[in-house]
Every structure is written in C-alpha cells, then in structure tokens.
A and B are shown apart, each in its own frame.
Chain A
Amino acid sequence: MTVNLTLLTVMGVMFAVGIYLMLERSLTRVLLGTILLSNGANLLILMTAGRAGYAPLYRDGLEADEYLDPLPQALLLTAIVIAFAMVAFMLALIYRSWILARQDEVTDDEEDRRVAETVGAYDPEEDAEVPSEASEFIGEVDPNTGTLRTDDAAGPRPETEESVERGER
C-alpha cells in the first residue's frame, strides 16, 4: 500500500501534541489533548483506506477499488460522533469539579499519598500476640460459679463477647 507522507506527518504531530497536552495537570488541556489524540487516530484509520478515490456513492461501471474504501469511513463516522459524546461528558466532569472544589486540575490521590507515608504493616488483628484458648465455651461459662449458661439464658451474650474481645486485644 502507498504511504502518504503528509497524512503520516500530520498524524504523528497530532499524537505528539495530544500526548503532551494530556500529561498536563490542567483538565482543560487534558481534554484538548484527548481531542487531538482522537484526531490522530482518525487520520490513522483514514490512511488504512489507501489512496484517494471516488466518494463511495455507487455508480455503474466503477470497480470496487476505485472508491475510497467505505469500511474505514463507516468506522470513522461512528468514531467522530462518539468522540463528541465523550467530549461533552468530560466537559460536564470539568464543570462539576470546578463547582465542587474550584479545581480544574488533576490533583494527587490523597489515599495513595497516605499509603505511601505509612511505615510498616503492623496490624493488631494479624500481628498482636493472642493467647491460645483452652475452651470453645469462653464467654458462656460463668466464672464465679463455674456453671454453664443454660440455653435459655443466652441473652446477655453480646456483652460477654465484647469483654472477651477487649481482654484479648
């Protein structure tokens, strides 16, 4: 297939500029970068159609390869409209971010920052020393009388569980 240098160069520039803008922190520029990237991708798809040809409107006597390949065009048409919907959505996002936080920049994720600052992974649930238990019925045996709670008096169990919990921690 023939390589069209102009299209190739324009595509390359669109990608380059798009990436450059996308890496910025300003949301508007990120959005513009995205639009330029999609422009570059559109050109790439267009190039797959090969050299220029007749508009794909059926005429008697024309061979199939004399038209500009219709399939990439159909793809492009949908791509263009989808890109519009995406731009509208991102605009709404930017507006919302501005309304909520007066912020039109990509900010750092505070949770990630917090994780990065945590030192060590000590977790009392996993790492604290816990004595082994010699009965399953802890919390159900009355320590004073040594008698087992009857089935009917199972009411106040939650408190005892809590106290056992506290004792273990």
Chain B
Amino acid sequence: MLSALFAVSMAAPFLFTWIGRRVFYVLAAVLGVAFGWVLVYGDPAQDRTETLEWIPQLGVELAFRMDALGYAMSLLITGVGAAVMLYCARYFPAREPAAGPFSAQLFAFAAAMLGLVLSDDVVMLFIFWELTTILSFLLIGYSAHRVFARRSAIQALIVTTLGGLAMLIGLLWIGELAGTYRISEMIDQAGALSGPAVDSAMALILVGALSKSALVPFHFWLPAAMAAPTPVSAYLHAAAMVKAGIYLVARFAEGFHDTTLWLPIVLSLGLLTMLVGAYRALRQTDIKLVLAYGTVSQLGFLVMVNGLGTQDAALAGVSMLLAHGLFKAALFMIVGIIDHKAGTRDLRVLSGIGRSQRWLVGIAVVVAASMAGLPPLFGFVAKEIVFESIYGYADVHGAAGWAVLAGVVLGSAITVAYSARFLWGAFADKRDEHGKTLPVTAFHGKPDVVFLAAPAGLAVLTVLLAIYPAPLQEIGEAFAADFAPVAEGIEPTYLALWHGWTPVLGLSVVSWVLGLAAFWLIGRTSDPQKAAPLMLDAERLYRNTIRTLDDFAGWLTAKTQRGSLAWYLFIIIAVATALPAGIIAFTEHTVPEHIILAEEPLQMVLGAVIISGGFGAIWAPKRFMAVLMVALCGWGIAGIFALQGAPDLALTLLLVESIILVVFVLALRSLPAGIWTQNPARFKLGRALLGAGFGVVMMVVAAIAMDSRVAEPVSVEYPWMAYDVGHGANIVNVTLVDIRVWDTFGEITVLAAAATGVASLIFVKRRDVVRKELHEVPTGSVGRVLSDQELSTRQMKEIRVARSFATVAREAWLVAGRTLAPEHRSIIFEVVTRLMFHAIILLSVYLLLAGHNTPGGGFAGGLLAGLAFVLRYLAGGRYELEAAIPFSAGAVMGWGLAIACFTGVLPLFLGGAAFQSFTVDFALPVFGEHHLVSSVLFDVGVYLVVIGLIVDVLRSLGSEIDVRSEQESRRSSNLGHGIHSQTSLGVAR
C-alpha cells in the first residue's frame, strides 16, 4: 500500500503536465481510497503486523504494525489528506507550473507520514521521520523566489533535523538497551528497563518529538513555516506532520512515562508552550499567524495529555489529536480562501466579510467554536475528557497536578480568546483610528462549492462526532486499554457530550467566561504588537546562534585551512608519527630476541649504497642528479631482493627503475635543470625532524610487529598449490596469474587507467594523433628548429662536426633514422639498437612464456619489451616509435584486458569457476611433448597491458612533448627575429 502511494507521487508531476491542476482530484481520490482501505483493513481491537527483511545484519526490518493509535493516525492522515488535495484543486491557479512538483511532494508527504505512524522498527520510523522533514522543507520553500520562504524553509529544516538527530541517538540507544529495534517489543520490555541510560535515551527521543511538534524552545519554526502555501499549513503544520511528535510521545508514554525525566519535561514544556503560544496568538495581526500560534499552543496541550501516561489521558490524547486535526485543518483552509479571494490576511484590512460570505462564516464559526471547546462540537467533547483526565491525575498526585490543571484551564481560556479574535479579525466590520468603518473587503469571485467542500466536510465531521462519538470511543478505548488507570479501581472515562454536572464542566465554563472576557478586554486591539513589545524572541535567538556558528566555522577554517598543501601533509604525517609513538610509549614491549645484523655482508654494502643514494637525492642541486640518486636506491633494493631470494622482484624492479629513469628525463627535459627551493630555511629543521621521527617510528613498529608474529603465514600452502593445482613451478608467478588472479586483474585495470590518465594530461584532446606517413617526412627535419642561416658561425661549426658523424653511406640502420636532424643522430646507437631490438623482444617473449616455471612472467616480459621500444624511440625519434609499433596504445591495452577477461570468463562456459585454470597437452613433431596452462594466456594479457602502458607513456611524454617543444622554440625564434618565413620548416607531427 505504501509503495503504491509513493509510486503515485512519482507519477503525479507527469499527470500534472497532462491534466493540469485536476491532478489534485485524482490524488484526493487515491487518498480517499487509502482512507477506505485503512477503515477496512485496520481493526482497533487487534494489531495488524507485516514484516519484511531488509538489513538482517543490523537487525533492521521493514516491520509495520497498525494498532489503535496507528489506526487513528492513519485515518487522520488519509482523511484530512484527501480533503486538502481536493482543496488544492481550487487553491492553485490552473496553469501554475510549480504546482506539478508540489502535488507530488504533498502526496509523497502523505505516504511518508503514513509510513511513520505504521512502522514498528525504529530505523524505519526515523527514515520516514526525516522524509517528512525534507518534504516539509520543500513544501515550505514552495515560493522559492521569496527570501522569507527560503529562510523559513531552511530554519524549519535545521531545527527539526537537529531534533531528529537527537532522536536517532535516543532510539538507537534504547534499542541497544532493550536488545531490539521493534517498538512494540521495546514497550513490552519497558518494565525491565530503568536507570540513567534509559532516562537519557528517553530525553533524547523527547527532544526529537518536541522539535517536530514545535514546543518551546523550538516553537519559532512553525509560525515561520506559514510562508508555505495554505494547503501545506493546513496539512503538515496543523493536521499531520506536527502530530508526528505527539504520536511519538503517545507511543512511548505507554512504556516509559514513568522514567525520571519524562513527566517533568513533558508537563513543564507542554504547559509553557500552551501558554506562550496562546498568548502570542492573541497578539498577531495576520489571521494565519493567529492560527499558527494557536497550533503551537494546542501542540503543547497535546504533548501534555498524551505524555501523561494514564488510561484516561490516553483516550483523551487520541481524541484531542483527532479533534485538533479536524478543526485546525478546516480553519487554515478558511484562511486560505480569504487570502486567495481577498489578497490579504491582515485583520486590520479585512472588514465586513462576515456579511457577504454567509457559508464561509458558517463553517468558520463551527470550527472555531470547536477550537474554543464549545458544545455541541467535538472539540468540546475532547477537551472535556482532557480536563477530566488531568483532574483525575491531580486528584491522585496533589499539588503539581493541580498546578498543571490550573495552567491548562488558563490556556484554554486564552484559546477561547484567540478563537474569538480569529473570527472577529477575519469577518467582523472594523473601524480605523478615526472611528470610521472600513470599507467591506472585496472578494474576487465567490468561492465555489469545491473550494468550500473540504472545510465544510471537516466541519460536519466535527459536529457528527460530537453527537455520535462511539466509533472514536472504540479506537481510543483500544489504545487506552494498554495503559494503567491513574489509581486502582478508578472507572475509565468515556466520550460524550454530557457527563452530568461534574467539576470538569465547571472548569469548561470558567475557561469560556475568562476567555470571552479576555477577548473583550484585549483581544480586539488592532495592533497589539505595538501595545506590548516582546521581551524574548526565540527566533532572534536562533538566528544569532546560527550566525555565531557561521562565524566560528569561518574562524576555524581560516585557522586550519591555510591553503598550503605542504602544511596539511605536515599535520597528517605528524599525527601519523605521534599517535603510534604514543601508543608504543604507553604499552609494554620486549626487545626482540632474534636479531641479525644482515643475511650476508653484501647486504650491508648494498644498504650503505641505498642510504647514500637517499641522502644524495636530498642534496642534489640539479633535477637529473636527484633522479639518478633515486634510481640508485631502486637498483640497490633490486640487489637486496636478489640476495634475499626473490629473482622475480629483482628483475622487475631493475626494469622498472631503468624505464622510470628514461621517462623522467623525457618528461622533465623542458623544465629548468636546477631545483630551486622556495622553502624558507626555518622549516628545514622541522621537516628533517619529522622525517627522521617517522622513519624511527616505522622501524620500531616494524620490529615490534615482526617480533610479535606467532601465526603461520598463509602462504605455506602455496608451493604445492602452485605446483599441483596451478601447474607451474614459479610460485610467485602462479600466485599472480592463478591463486590471486583477481588482484592482478584489478591491477592491470589500474595500469590501463593510469596510462589513459597520462595520455589525456599530455594530449588533452585525443590520444591517437594521426602522424604523417614515414615517407612524407622530409629527411633531417625532426628536431631542427632554426634554419642554418640564423645560426652563429660558432654554432654552425659545431653542427657541422656533429653532422659529419651522422652520415652513412649505406642504407639506414633504422627505418626512421633519416628523419632525425643530423645533429641529433648517433649512428652507433642506431647500430646497437638495430642489433639488439629483436633479441630483446625475443627474450621478453621467452620471459613471458617461461615465467610460469622460471623467473619472469607477464610483468617482467612486458617491461622488457617496453624497454626495447624505449631504445627504438631514443635512437630513431618519434617516427621510429610509430614504425616499431603501428598500433594505438589504447588498443594494445584493450586487447590485453580483453584477453585477461577472456581467460576469466572462458572456464564459466566450460563448467568451472571464473579464472579456473586448466591444461592442454599436445605434441609437436620437432619440439616434443608440451603442456600449456591456460593461466599463461592471462599472463599474455598482462604482457600486452604493460607494453601498452609503456608505449602510451612514450608517446605522451616522449613524442608529443617533442612536437610541443619544437613548436615552442620555433615560435620563440620567430618572435626573436621578427621573421615569419620559416614555415617551410614546419614541425612534423
């Protein structure tokens, strides 16, 4: 049912574009059906539950339960919802485009609210709770072009979310204490739960409930929320959403009303809210605000009676809740009609409507009288038993109870006063300062039947339920049955117009008389705000708080986010150093027993080389010197790998370090040679200390960690697994391509992504630039910037010498060797490359294929092949690279990934698991018996990806930077000489 409602809300905007505001009729009908469904499905005497698993790991379930309280709330939500939807169909202009999304939000709100009152799981409850908060935010901000609406929306959001978060903590806390997240089970166990933890959890839940229901000190958001369109005020901020807090109080009162903090909070804040709200309602000049503050007051009233936790109070609470929903929604609708037709809600301007709009006045008088608690209306019936329940409570509990009763009667009296003020303000004839009667406010057309139907329907219900309260008696009784009576042996009360001559009736009469007197004396002032200015304005307090918070955030940001990355890094590493150091200092450790200086003396020599390389990198003043020093470290570590017994690692690291060296030189050749540091000297010591500290901490941590290792390594199984299952003798290689193949597959994907990243950083637009065909490139053009005429004699001489070495009589050694400018050629290098290239490629293929059993494998093979391409590029320039590998690097990597993927997927079709390996045995006439392992095919994929990576890097950091720097220097030389005749020497891509 709920999902159906949400689905309808999804569909609403589309429907709106189709049939315009008539969509509200459809929505009203749907809610009407939902109302009928609740009537039929629900049964106050019996709980209906439904449960679906959602997150079993966290014990969160989609648990729904409809008991008497949920039943009553559901009826209110769907019933008033249908009326509001009907009302919307007249309220909005026919072609208001924003009304489409509005209809969806309003409808989704109805669904979320229904979910809230029906969910039996606290997590579900919270989710629906926050959904209503967000929808309320959207609905208040409907007129997004007005600052006031925007600000009110944000204010409501912040206040209710703050409460919602407090409530979440409380709900989870009580859930942990009770060992269940089911609300019904929590309440069953409530008797066994006590202590400060439960008290605090309940107080937190109350914070959520009170903020949602706009109690002091959170009350200010509700009047501000009147910036919303009036249907929203009628539905969310009178009938439904603000009742969520009341609902929560009523729900938990059953089990937890006797916790220490519950009654003090509920009664004191409830009473305070009732009085403050009612008093302020008397002082408003906007009739909508009169109602808004009236709502605040009534919410305080409702929280008190629902939170009291006695049998009578429970019945009274539910009845009052429904009564308030009925009359307040209708009253808001009436305000909306007046605003819609007269264009103002200011009671100083409105005048004489009472005489022209008979029907409107009739409805208004009925519902306002219900608000004031006059017979024979349902408001009176409900208020009677509220008085009665509090009277009964006071009778048993003495002074505090009597004080509450007195406060409630006073509050009711003011309620009577502001009800009268509302009627007077909206409809009566008024006079200006000079005693002249104001002109009758003009209405733009009579409100038609549909417009009046919704408030009229609610008004009729108010009368009917007063005369015949039996159905509500049934619901309320079922709910109240779970509560204990205030004292043993007291008969439960019942809903009726006439209880006899009771003291309670007397209290009602007192409140009427007091209220009417108050209205007569002070309620008719046109400008009460001026007459008595406010002492304390909660909204101003809120805004100052937010402002201070903003200021603090700005200050903190300014202090911590200083904009220097190095500083952030410094802080991070300092924490990473200090934290483990602190832990080590405050825990006990033994000195490791097994310490060796080194495996063999050569290791120490290598260690010394690496360390000096490290310090050399710091000292080196030139960029390339520093790079060389770092490469030295790498080679040293490769040596250590070899000595330790890891030939694969040594081989791979050696290759990688060599390629890194070349790539570094290629990429940074356009940067100046010196590394000048701008770091002020005073930071030098700090950095050195931090570095040293981090190094030492890491050493200690590593030593402690290794010393405390007791478990067997997981890899003891690897040798036989590799040999018997993976069919390979090289355990590391089999680990990569078989045992832990998923890791490797992920890794080569990362490689492809990194290569693509490099290429896109350099090429920016597209990676596979179409270069000229080799035969189109003029001989000796690549790398030439200046024509010979521009050179000085000295340069000329140098170049002539260089060129004399670059002439060869016979055919070129490399295909593209001739394209290089003669001064850039090195014939010896070309010869060596020519001789070695094929041998290296062969070797790389050998490493790839033999890697399953001997050191090597896809990574090493691919790196070696890549190195061969590096050679070709360095010797013959960018056209040589193109000639050497005429494919796009992306395609090579793509094929590599495809092959790797293929070996993963293939076994699935043969009935195995993904990446399962199998062997194929075959005999070749000359080469003898062979058996191939399928995981070698995966290694081929790795091989291709690595080659693609290196070629991509070469093309970007090599070829493309060549082209750019040649263009750059040509441009600067052109500028320098002011001659533009060099175009014949264009740079060839």
**Using a CB–CB distance below 8 Å, which chain A residues touch chain B?**
1-26, 28-29, 32, 35-36, 39-40, 42-44, 46-59, 62, 64-65, 67-71, 73-74, 76-78, 80-89, 91-96, 98-99, 104-106, 108-113, 115-118, 120-123, 125-128, 130-138, 140-141, 146-148, 151-152, 154, 161, 164-165, 168-169
Residues in A with CB closer than 8 Å to B929 are none
* Contacting residue for B961 out of A4, A67, A95, CB 8 A: A95
From 703 to 729 in chain B, residues with beta carbon under 8 angstroms from any chain A beta carbon are 703, 706-707, 709, 713-720, 722-723, 728-729
Stretch at the interface among B319-327, B365-373, B544-552, B774-782: B544-552
A36 to B620, CA, bound (A): 15
A141's nearest neighbour on chain B, judged by CB, is: B343
**Candidates A35, A48, A70, A154; contact of B95 at CB < 8 Å:** A154
- The answer, among A32, A70, A130, for a CB contact under 8 Å with B718, is A70
Total chain B interface residues with beta-carbon distance under 8 A: 152
Report the stretch among B241-249, B300-308, B452-460, B590-598 that lies at the interface. B590-598
- Given A10-B611, A85-B750, check contact A77 B592 (CB 8 Å): no
Complex CA gap A111/B557 in Å reads 11
Chain A residues in 8 Å Cβ range of B553: 121
B957 interface contact, C-beta 8 A = yes
Query: Given A6-B597, A125-B151, do A115 and B663 touch, yes or no (CB 8 Å)?
Result: no
**CB interface residues, B 559-582, toward A, < 8 Å:** 559, 561-566, 569-570, 573
Among B561, B667, B729, B853, point to the contact of A95 (Cβ < 8 A).
Answer: B667
In the complex the two chains form, is A95's CB within 8 Å of B339's CB? no
B522 at the interface (CB under 8 A from A): no
Docked complex: B826-859 residues within 8 A CB-CB of A: 853-855, 859
Name the distance in Å between A35's Cβ and chain B's nearest Cβ. 5
Asked whether, in the complex, the Cβ of A56 is within 8 Å of the Cβ of B618, the reply is no
Which of B145, B592, B647, B692 is close to A165, meaning CB atoms less than 8 Å apart? B145
Say whether A3 contacts B667, CB under 8 Å: no
Q: Once the chains bind, are A80 and B566 in contact (CB under 8 Å)?
A: no
Across the interface, do A81 and B946 meet the contact criterion of CB distance under 8 Å? Answer: yes
Contact flag A23-B687 (CB < 8 Å), given A65-B716, A68-B644, A73-B648: yes
Say yes or no: B561 contacts A116, CB within 8 Å: yes
Please give me the 4 A-B residue pairs with the lowest Cβ-Cβ distance, nearest first.
Answer: A16-B695, A112-B563, A121-B550, A85-B754
Q: Does B147 contact A (CB under 8 A)?
A: yes
User: Is B95 touching A151 in the complex (CB atoms < 8 A)?
Assistant: yes
A1 to B675 Cα, complex, angstroms: 43
Say whether B618 contacts A48, CB under 8 Å.
no
Given contacts A23-B570, A71-B735, A135-B339, contact A15 B722 (CB under 8 A): no
Q: Is the CB of B645 within 8 A of A68?
A: yes
Find A8's partner among B95, B573, B699 (CB 8 Å cutoff).
Answer: B699
Interface: B755 (CB within 8 A) = yes
Q: Are A24 and B677 in contact (CB under 8 A)?
A: yes
User: Which residues of A sit under 8 angstroms from B961, Cβ to Cβ?
Assistant: 95
A89 and B758 contacting across the interface, CB-CB below 8 Å:
yes
A120–B557 CA distance with the chains assembled, in angstroms: 12
The reply to whether the CB of B421 lies closer than 8 angstroms to some CB of chain A is: no
Task: Assess whether B345 is in contact with A95, with CB atoms less than 8 Å apart.
Answer: no
Residues of A within 8 A of B953 (CB): 88
- Are A128 and B147 in touch, CB under 8 angstroms? yes
B751 is contacted by which of A65, A85, A99, A152 (Cβ under 8 Å)? A85
Other contacts beyond A19-B690, A126-B550: 4, CB < 8 A: A1-B594, A6-B598, A55-B645, A116-B559
Is the beta-carbon distance between A91 and B957 smaller than 8 angstroms?
yes
17 interchain pairs, CB-CB under 8 A: A5-B597, A16-B696, A22-B569, A28-B671, A46-B644, A56-B646, A58-B723, A70-B731, A82-B750, A84-B949, A91-B957, A95-B961, A99-B964, A105-B678, A137-B339, A148-B340, A169-B147
B139 at interface, CB cutoff 8 A: no
Check A23 against B346 for contact (C-beta < 8 Å): no
B338-356 contacts to A (CB < 8 Å): 339-341, 343-346, 349
Given contacts A3-B703, A64-B717, A95-B957, contact A44 B617 (CB under 8 A): no
* Nearest chain B residue, comparing its CB with the CB of A91: B667
Given contacts A58-B722, A84-B656, contact A19 B695 (CB under 8 A): yes
Cβ 8 A contact of B615, one of A17, A32, A64, A78: A17
- By a CB distance below 8 angstroms, the chain B residues around A49 are 644, 646
**Which residues on A sit within 8 Å (CB–CB) of B344?**
134-135
CB-CB under 8 A from A25, the residues of chain B are: 566, 677-679
Does any Cβ of A come within 8 Å of B536's Cβ? no
**Docked CA distance A135–B30 (Å):** 30
